[in-house]
Amino acid sequence: MQLKITTWNINSVRLRLPIVERFLKEHAPDILCLQEIKCLNDQFPYKPLRELGYEHIAVHGQKGYHGVAIVSRLPLGEGFSTDYCAMGDTRHIAAVFDAGGRRIRLHNFYVPAGGDEPDPEINPKFRHKLDFLEEMKVLKADAGDGVGSILVGDLNIAPMENDVWSHKQLLKIVSHTPVETDGMMDLIAKGGWVDLMRHVTPADEKLYTWWSYRAKDWQAANRGRRLDHIWTSADLVSAFDRFEILSEARGWEKPSDHVPVTAWFKF
């Protein structure tokens, strides 16, 4: 069996529904995880997505901000969400599904961006981000229940030197500061996670999933960052086949500043 999972920060699912539909028609993942849906649960576009064959939808929404959703061809069960930092924000949703004779727990995250100033003493948004990361460290890839784990989402950190267009110039820019990148590497280590994209990509190769709206010509400037991630528990690494960053989607009509990232598994 082949399993195809995509993560995409859509930056308003209702505003960008046409490109979500285009992506599902052209690329047909089994499961699509969305972040920043920016709508309440009852405002989510269930009908058009179900008409495309995605009958199973789990949504944790919020008016105007944040929000995460799992859109699936496969049945979803045991759904839950965690209120990290007790802020009431909708930044996490999880569900369990079956694939290839395996039970898999899927986590979909939208980690706080952290504002512009990388100083937690003067920027409460950055303090929130660091606290959120700290709380995520208790989440184990192997929960000891025989269920494999996949963690995806916009984690708003580009952890390695070649996950940004210029390591030196971004060391003091939120998403690539040492306190964030060290924190993410500690999160991966403590949780027993495997960063799949970097697992199969040399450290000296550039990987980007996000290009700022501020660039007049995002493609020519190519000042990207890898903010979107797909991690798994160690037991699923052998089933991982490949991944794709659909950079062309950054040039679609009314695009998100993030692009879809897809992982293939073979069981």
Residue 79's pLDDT band (cuts 50, 70, 90): very high
257 assigned ligand-binding residue = yes
Q: Residue 85's Cα: distance from chain center in Å? A: 19
66 assigned ligand-binding residue = no
pLDDT score, position 107: 98
Type of residue at 1? M
pLDDT score, position 239: 97
- For the entire predicted model, the pTM comes to 0.98
- pLDDT at residue 53 greater than cutoff 90: yes
Here the tokens at position 60 are 């944790």
* Catalytic annotation, residues: 110, 154, 258
88: alpha, beta or left? (left if phi > 0; alpha if psi -120 to 50): left
Please check whether residue 104 is in contact with residue 5, taking contact to mean a CB–CB distance below 8 angstroms: no
154 assigned ligand-binding residue = yes
Please state the domain count of the chain.
Answer: 1
Please check whether residue 105 is in contact with residue 76, taking contact to mean a CB–CB distance below 8 angstroms: no
217 assigned ligand-binding residue = no
Domain, as residue range, for 46: 2-266
pLDDT in tens, 210-261: 999 998 899 999 999 999 999 999 999 999 999 999 999 999 999 999 999 9
Burial (Cβ within 10 Å: 0-12, 13-18, ≥19) of residue 126: buried
Residue 79's domain is classified under what CATH number? 3.60.10.10
Rounded to an integer, what distance in angstroms lies between the CA atom of residue 116 and that of residue 110?
Answer: 17
